[in-house]
Amino acid sequence: MLILVVNAGSSSLKYQLIDMDGEKVLAKGNCDRIGIGGHIAHKTSDGRKFEADCTFPTHTEAFEKLVETLTTGDAAVIKDMSEISAVGHRIVQGAEVFSETTLVTDEVIEKIDGLAELAPVHNHAHALALRACKKVFSADVPQVVVFDTAFHQTMPPEAFMFGIPYEDYEKYHVRKYGFHGTSHRFVSKALADAMGRPQEGLKIVSCHLGNGSSITAVKDGKSIDTSMGFTPLDGVIMGTRSGCIDASAVTFLEKKLGLDPDQMSDYLNKKSGFLGVSGISSDNRDVCQAVEKGDKRAKLTTDMLCYEIKKYIGSYTAAMNGLDAVLFTGGIGENSCETREGACEGMEYFGIKLDKELNKKTRGTLTKISAPDSKVEVWVVPTNEELLIARDTLALISK
């Protein structure tokens, strides 16, 4: 059974075609520059490639090109779109409206669009893509939506509320939602399987560290707290995002720099983080290279990340009243032994002891990297959000 996984942004449409018999990716690609031109880059699992400039006034034309590329030409992988059984879409914000994977109806699309105020960059684009997909695919191909926020809907109120007047939470839905839920759900389950334990009874701190990063306390397979908040800006320092910052510093800087709220949002989301502190790059590899050359601000940046991760591990251990395992995933979590070592250093009190040699050797593979006598297990667990979306889609349409 073939499932198409779609991750739509305002001007892009990333996709993977997955054969669920063996969970194999047949082809993947990206249609981008939607609305401002158009370009498709497509690759098959056996190494064939197709790339072209196109005209994509809207997501509809991008979907049409995607269909054409999958079914015709040198990089085709299927004969007809009828071979695709369902489409699974990644949706960033489901707020309190969606707490689980959902079958798409016109009403569902309206609700996703209605949440655009809570995710201005993403949700409207998702709605456009869902409508376009409906036009291009026949009506009997089910579409399914999987929400980044859904996994965190199990957080208790004391974890998700902000200390603001309650009426504003009720009226404007301002609260912590958390993101990267698909990844945290995937890796925490994969870790339980690797440990040979049921999720029930397991206390895990899941560290998804990439260009965007979030850390989640997963107890009994459920999210009970997470570092990202109302938007994906909160939590640890990220590529270009500041992470947690005192709100008074924001209003102070707004006045000092003469910025309006949108410019301030840009400052915190696009000019801060690794880029802002190091002054070098938003990319962890570039910052780490500068550390090796003795750059002090680069060192400060990487130290900040490790220190913040450590604090989340400590506070979530308190929240869960214990800790069985810490896992690292995402581009940085899976590949940067320096970050993992820095985050786990001086954590003996918590029962965390890394096998430093094994940690150094581990890159992107499911591996236990804690020392044999470590009370808490530490793992690298590669994430695969697309596969989880495909699995969810399959599970829902099989019902």
Interface with ligand AMP, residue 283, by CB under 6 A: yes
Among residues 43, 42, 67, the alpha carbon closest in space to that of 52 is found at 42
Query: What is the closest distance, in whole angstroms, from the C-beta atom of residue 285 to ligand AMP in the complex?
Result: 4
Among 7, 335, 367, 374, binds ligand AMP (CB under 6 A): 335
* Residue with smaller CB distance to ligand AMP, 336 or 362: 336
Residue number with the smallest Cβ distance to ligand AMP: 331
Centroid of chain to Cα 23? 20
Pairing relationship of beta strands 377-380 and 367-368 according to DSSP bridges: antiparallel
364: left (phi over 0), alpha (psi -120 to 50) or beta: left
Interface with ligand AMP, residue 7, by CB under 6 A: no
Let me know if 262 is a catalytic residue.
no
Footprint on residues 208-227 left by ligand AMP (CB under 6 A): 210-211
Interface with ligand AMP, residue 285, by CB under 6 A: yes
Choices 42-50, 75-83, 108-116, 327-335; region in contact with ligand AMP by CB under 6 A: 327-335
Interface with ligand AMP, residue 29, by CB under 6 A: no
How many residues sit close enough to ligand AMP to count as binding (CB under 6 A)?
A: 12
Of 32, 148, 355, 392, the catalytic one is 148
* Distance of alpha carbon 216 from alpha carbon 228, whole angstroms: 9
Choices 118-126, 184-192, 195-203, 328-336; region in contact with ligand AMP by CB under 6 A: 328-336
**Which parts of 246-295 fold into alpha helices (H)?**
247-257, 261-270, 273-278, 284-292
* Residue with smaller CB distance to ligand AMP, 60 or 359: 359
| Tokens read off for 72 | 């015709």
**Biggest alpha carbon–alpha carbon distance for the chain:** 60
Interface with ligand AMP, residue 284, by CB under 6 A: yes
Q: List CB contacts of 67: < 8 A, sequence separation 6 or more.
A: 81, 136
Exposure letters 91-116 (e unless 16+ CB within 10 A, then b): bbbbbebbeebbebeeebbebbbebb
Query: What is the closest distance, in whole angstroms, from the C-beta atom of residue 157 to ligand AMP in the complex?
Result: 30
Interface with ligand AMP, residue 240, by CB under 6 A: no
* Residue with smaller CB distance to ligand AMP, 284 or 374: 284
Ramachandran angles phi, psi of 251, nearest 5°? -65, -35
Active site members: 148
The contact set with ligand AMP (CB under 6 A) reads 210-211, 239, 283-285, 288, 330-332, 335-336
